[in-house]
Amino acid sequence: MFFFSIIYLFYKNITFFNNYDIYKKNFFLSLIFFFGFGVKIPVWPFHFWLTKTHVEVNTSFSIFLSGVLVKIALIGIYKFYFILSDLNFLYYFILFVGIIDITIKIANQVDFKKIVAYCTIFEMNTILLSFMFYSYNTLIFYFIFCMLHTVLSNMFFLLNDYIYKRFCTRNLYNINSLFLSSPNLGLLLLLSVILFNGIPFTLKFYIELSFF
């Protein structure tokens, strides 16, 4: 997508030294930059590559994808926000529909790692939706939200690795008596779920409440 945007810039004889208003009034460039970074975040409906990748790769690469790659794409969105700001309403709609669709899909999953992957997509779409209401005062909350997602998603991927090594399966229906066979692992998983869901009096609850 960025390749086509560069060709378009040359065709229109536009450089990055021009006035920002040239970009803000360009519908095509705004979509290209949004979905160009959005594929890596990933934004719905270009999210399928992430679920398939997480299921197939090892834990280390899953941590890299969730903790590094998608965050770099968020930095790109931040850098080019001035291009996107005029089409915020369209992006609100895309992200909101994506959050609803992903929530429904999570409920039908039985593979533990695929659930974590869909939760990652849900979180990233939520973070990007909150960023579309950009203001200087919310920037610190946006940063903390990203860091929380990095820590919690990586923790889930590590827990998935430990559970798979112990039970030789990622199917939730085949993981029985976790608290009896591995109480420490069960407690850590329960704590991770509580922190991820933003239970009151946790940091994530405060951040999400601040955005709303």
Instruction: Summarize pLDDT for 90-117 with one digit per residue, the tens.
Output: 778 888 888 888 888 888 888 888 888 8
Please tell me the total count of domains within the chain: 1
Section 73-99 average pLDDT = 76
Say how far apart CA 156 and CA 162 lie, in whole Å.
10
Q: Which residue has the higher pLDDT, 9 or 41?
A: 41
> Whole-angstrom distance between the N-terminal and C-terminal Cα of the chain?
32
Q: What is the pTM of this model?
A: 0.77
User: Residue 87: pLDDT above 70?
Assistant: no
Q: What is the band of 6 on the pLDDT scale with cuts at 50, 70, 90?
A: low
Q: What is the band of 17 on the pLDDT scale with cuts at 50, 70, 90?
A: very low
**41 DSSP assignment:** T
User: Residue 13: pLDDT above 50?
Assistant: yes
The number of beta carbons lying within 10 Å of the beta carbon of residue 145 is 22
Domain of residue 41 covers 2-211
Distances (CA, A) of 163 to 50, 52, 191: 21, 20, 15
